[in-house]
Structure formats: structure tokens, C-alpha cells
Amino acid sequence: MSAAVSASSPRLPPELECAVFQHIALLHPTSIPKLMLVATRVRDWVEPLLYRVVFLSFWDTNPKRRHGFPVLSPNMFLQKIAGKSPSFLQAAVKYLFVDSARPSVKIVTLNSVLAACPGVTHLFIHHQCPSPKILANLRFLCRLAIPIELMCDQNALQCTAPLFQNITHLRLRGHEQNIDIRRIWASLSDMPKLTHVGFDTPAIISLTPASMQENKRLQCIVHISWGDETVYDEDDADLFRPLADDLRFVCIELWTDYHLLWLRGAELAEGDDYWALAEAFIAAKLAGRVDRSCYSISEGDDF
């Protein structure tokens, strides 16, 4: 009886069934381990999505979740993927956040993590710079946030040249004082697909070369600050003056924890992050809804 019922029961085409399970997995990442138990075919469909967004913390080793995604230590992550094939990891890991707050973090550990994820497309590195040779192997990267000092190391730039051929969105983090700003701008001008660039330090804006101001490929130039860490004053206004009349220039004051902001963007596939906020503001200026002389906004502003 049960066999007859089973044989006559409606069945979805495999491709539609796959789409349904993957949609559920993307909407509810925490449900993926349970979905993997439904059937072998379902496990094959959704297990890669378990590793689509990877959030690693070197300083907080207690397993927990941020925005529905698990937080792992690098060693825990390396243990979990030990039995996975390189092809699986290349196809699976697309978003990688490395929260290496301690300067004492072993570079070899960071290198091992990145070497295991050659297919990553979105990478955020909080503090330590990995080996340039390891970075150079990440040929699928299109969105990258790294410490600004990497852009001042000529040897590192030569090693990572292939990496920057595909970068469209680049965030240079940090407020380093001893940086060669002209070298940074020169390096940015050599990136053929770069459309969005962001900085934490206003000093770099003050030396924006004419070649970058005239670069039509660049769609968005952003200065980012968080909450009360930066209060714009007259000195900052002078630093921003070279780009004050450039419609592509936006100063954004953010309030959301930067970890959550990145995860939110990963969850929505770039639908809700500071790049999207800057793009919306620029579009509002072009449409005449915002004064074209305005370039400073805060998270949550309605325009």
C-alpha cells in the first residue's frame, strides 16, 4: 500500500526540488544542518551553502552566531574542512570575513585559511595582512577590504598584481600615518575593473590626483567613519576639498557594528551595505532629490 502511494505521489522535477531546498537554505542558514539529513541528494545541494558565508574570529573562540551565521575560530574552520575536496571548497566559500584583532595572530594560520578558499569572491581582513603570494591566488575576488598598509608595500603589490585585475570594490582600512598616499593612488589607477573605492582616513582624499578625478570608470569614492569615532571639522573639510564637487564622493557615518553590516550585505548579496548606501545617495543627487553640493550622510538617512 505504502509503495503504491509512494509511486503515485506527485514528484517535483529534480531541478525544481533543488531550487526549493537551496532557497530555504539561503533564507535560513541555521536550518542547513537539518536539511542535510532529509536525503543524500538534498545534502549534496545544500551543504555547499553551509560554507557560502564564513566568519572567522581569532580572538573569540566561543562558538556563537552573528546575524544567523556561525562564528568559528580559524582552527575550528580548518578542522571542519579537512575532509573536503579542493573543488568543493572552491565552489562553496564565497564570502570570507577574517576578524584578526590581535597583532600576534600567526600569519601561517591566516595563509592556511585563504589557501583553502581559492574561490572566494568577497573578502574582509580586519588586521593582519596575509602572504602576498597567497592573496595572489584568489583570482575570483571582486570585493576586498584590507589594511591600507598592504598598498604601500611595493613588493607585495608586485606579487598580488593578478589579484587586483578583477577587483571592482576595494576598501582600504586603517588610519596609518606613515603611508605613501601617492603610491596608493598610482596603484589604484592600474586596477582595470575598479569602480568603487573606500577609505577610513580622510588624509588620502586630500591628495587625490587629477587622473583619478577624471577616471570615468570610478563610480563611487567613499570615506567611512563609525559612530562617534570621527567628528568632521574644518580641517576635514579642507582635506575633502579636492573631491567636494565630485558627485561620486560620499562621506558616510555608520552606526551598525561593522561585522553585522558586512554579514547583512553577504546575506542579501550586496543589497544592504555601505556601497549600496553610497550608490543610492549618488543616484539621489543625480536625480535632483539631494543638493549636489552635499557629500556627507549618515546611516539611516532617507533620500
Residues 125-170 pLDDT 10s: 887 777 888 888 898 999 999 888 877 776 666 767 777 889 999 9
Q: How far apart are CA 240 and CA 249, in angstroms?
A: 9
Residue 259 falls inside a structural domain: yes
What distance in Å separates the CA atoms of residue 38 and residue 45, rounded to the nearest whole number?
Answer: 11
Q: What are the cell numbers at 99?
A: 576578524
Return the H-helix or E-strand segment holding 18. Answer: helix 14-27
Does one domain contain both 161 and 25?
no
Asked whether residue 143 is assigned to any structural domain, the reply reads yes
What span, in angstroms and rounded, lies between the C-alpha atoms of 226 and 248? 20
Claim to verify: residue 40 and residue 111 sit in the same structural domain: no
- Residues 23 and 97 grouped into a single domain: no
Looking at the structure of the chain, the number of domains it has is 2
- Order of strands, edge to edge, in the sheet holding 122-125? 64-66, 69-72, 53-57, 95-99, 122-125, 143-147, 169-173, 196-199, 220-226, 249-254, 296-298
Phi, psi of 221 (to 5 degrees): -125, 115
**pLDDT for the residue 2:** 47
* Residues 24, 16: Cα–Cα separation, whole Å: 12
Give domain status of residue 6, yes or no: no
- pTM exceeds 0.75: yes
The three-class DSSP label of residue 61 is coil
pLDDT at 156: 67
Q: Are residues 118 and 240 in the same domain?
A: yes
188 and 166 within one domain: yes
127 shares its domain with 274? yes
What pLDDT score was predicted for residue 179?
75
Q: Are residues 29 and 102 in the same domain?
A: no
Cβ atoms of residues 95 and 76 within 8 Å: no
Give the separation between CA 122 and CA 100, rounded to whole angstroms. Answer: 16
Q: What percent of the chain has pLDDT over 70?
A: 83
**Residue 30 neighbours by CB under 8 Å, 6+ apart:** 65, 68
Q: What is the pLDDT along the chain (303 residues), one digit of tens a residue?
A: 445 445 556 688 888 999 999 899 888 887 888 999 999 999 999 988 888 888 888 765 555 566 667 778 888 888 888 888 888 888 889 999 988 655 556 788 888 889 999 999 999 988 777 788 888 889 899 999 988 887 777 666 676 777 788 999 999 987 766 777 888 888 888 889 999 999 888 777 777 777 777 888 999 999 988 765 555 555 566 778 778 888 999 999 888 777 788 887 777 665 558 898 999 999 999 999 999 888 989 888 887
pLDDT in tens, 29-65: 878 889 999 999 999 999 888 888 888 887 655 555 6
Range of the domain at 22: 12-49
pLDDT at 73: 81
Instruction: Examine the domain organization and report whether 35 and 157 are in the same domain.
Output: no
Has residue 3 been placed in a domain? no
Regarding whether 113 and 37 lie in a shared domain, the answer is no
Q: Are residues 190 and 254 in the same domain?
A: yes
28 and 150 inside one domain: no
Cα separation, 151 vs 157, in Å, equals 7
Q: Are residues 55 and 40 in the same domain?
A: no
